[in-house]
Structure 1
């Protein structure tokens, strides 16, 4: 099975490295932001005046014990490696925003798919929220931050469902006017926000992982439907990449919980690899949206 996947991707190298030409300025910006984030974590953890910064906020020690990384409760950034790994979400968000900016500048009003651009920009802001939530949680490990972190998981995992649902609505209503499409977008994102907020605040404690896993399974179900109906469409290969990255991320998350190959002092933590592959999953889903030439061709 693994050999078949490797053989498939070796024939389609552009799937692993999509034709997104990121300028040198953007690469330099991403490198600078990554370096600055790493230095900020180091500086915060070496500032003696910030010791015990989170001491007055409640923490669930049972949850903390699930992570392999050594937790330094006295410091501002209690899990520096897991915190730093969240930079992947910021990197992908910046790439999406930069590419969307190029689309706005280079595309004519007739050719530009404005509805699709809205989805991509919305996804970029979701990734920014995931980055902030991840940073807040792994820095503080507080109960409130735990809620925020899972809120970000719900927003991230449910977005593909919303996007694919939008494609389904377009397919089944091909004669929708521009105004009707705008109404559909407003309605579908209103439902999305309400559902995510309800899950964020009303999922019982201890059930968060189950709910997030169900959301991911629903994404798989929708994605597989796309794949089965459009097996030869080049664009769906990016959707396959997104699914594979998500599966790999889930494996690393499971390994982190079971402390497999665990070294608390290592710079390579299973949970940080979860962040990396979830970030890559988001990147490939964006490329899937970006390379969508005609949404109405899907689910037909």
Structure 2
């Protein structure tokens, strides 16, 4: 991908993200916590799960934990643009496998943006429905990554344009089903299982195409998610906690998980051109 395109993607994503921040800032300045009145409060709010102070008088009950979700928004915009660009270039034969399935990149970008608004909704309102949407966004992003990894592990399977669209429909249905599945299986089991599945498929694909993959990206993705889990755990346990500080462990969790997901995506998307799509 040309540097000029990268510059365009990053610049556009930056300014749109800045505009979104401005909208959120104004909303938090002119609205108050009464907007969420009458909605069922989440268990997280009742137990003060996170370190940040729950300022129920403000529209954003948890300010930093809400704003930090813009990291998902920014990266979602970048990846969405990559997917749309790949879709425009479908006539080019010399593509790697993920370039040839642009809907996966588009889905990844949309999942990032969905998670941004879902998580922001939760941390702003601390409501039960917000928490459900937040977790569903997390599962949506992880499911897309697992799908991308699975698609590459079974690299000999060919997907027609119709098959690609059907796969996306299935992925959307599965994401919706996870609203119910998440009620049956604790997130402490379900999410780690998906992450381990992603790591397993990533490792298998690295062995399959060692010369075509960046081991650094795979390792970096793993390190980032491990650090993110550690930071989140420290935040929940209130280790070094300052409820009124601009630094919040859970806000850092948002950034680290976003970066880890981007590294996983780049591991597959920017493979060598020798991995030609069938």
The answer to whether TM tops 0.5 is yes
TM-score (norm 1): 0.78
Give distance in 2, aligned partners of 1:123 and 1:145.
21
Q: 1:258 to 1:273 in 2, by over 3 A?
A: same
Q: Which moved more, 1:158-167 or 1:57-66?
A: 57-66
Give distance in 2, aligned partners of 1:98 and 1:268.
31
Partner of residue 253, structure 1: 232
- 8 Å CA contact 2:34–2:59 kept in 1: the answer is yes
Report deviation, 1:90. 1.1
Matched, 1:77 2:56: no
Matches within 5 A, 1:158-169: 158-169=143-154
Matches within 5 A, 1:98-177: 98-103=81-86, 109-112=92-95, 115-171=100-156, 173=157, 176=158
Partner of residue 37, structure 2: 55
- 8 Å CA contact 1:166–1:185 kept in 2: the answer is no
Aligned length: 273
Give distance in 2, aligned partners of 1:155 and 1:78.
25
- 8 Å CA contact 2:64–2:247 kept in 1: the answer is yes
- 8 Å CA contact 1:37–1:84 kept in 2: the answer is no
Q: 1:205 to 1:234 in 2, by over 3 A?
A: closer
Report deviation, 1:260. 1.4
Q: Secondary structure at the match of 2:206?
A: helix
Q: Which runs of 4+ in 1 moved over 6 A?
A: none
Matches within 5 A, 1:1-300: 26-47=9-30, 50-63=32-45, 65-103=48-86, 109-112=92-95, 115-171=100-156, 173=157, 176=158, 180-204=159-183, 207-292=186-271, 293-295=273-275
Give distance in 2, aligned partners of 1:144 and 1:68.
21
Give distance in 1, aligned partners of 2:89 and 2:43.
52
Report deviation, 1:92. 0.7
TM-score (norm 2): 0.84
Report deviation, 1:232. 4.5
Give distance in 2, aligned partners of 1:285 and 1:191.
22
Report deviation, 1:19. 8.8
In structure 2, runs of 5+ residues without a counterpart are none
Q: Secondary structure at the match of 1:245?
A: helix
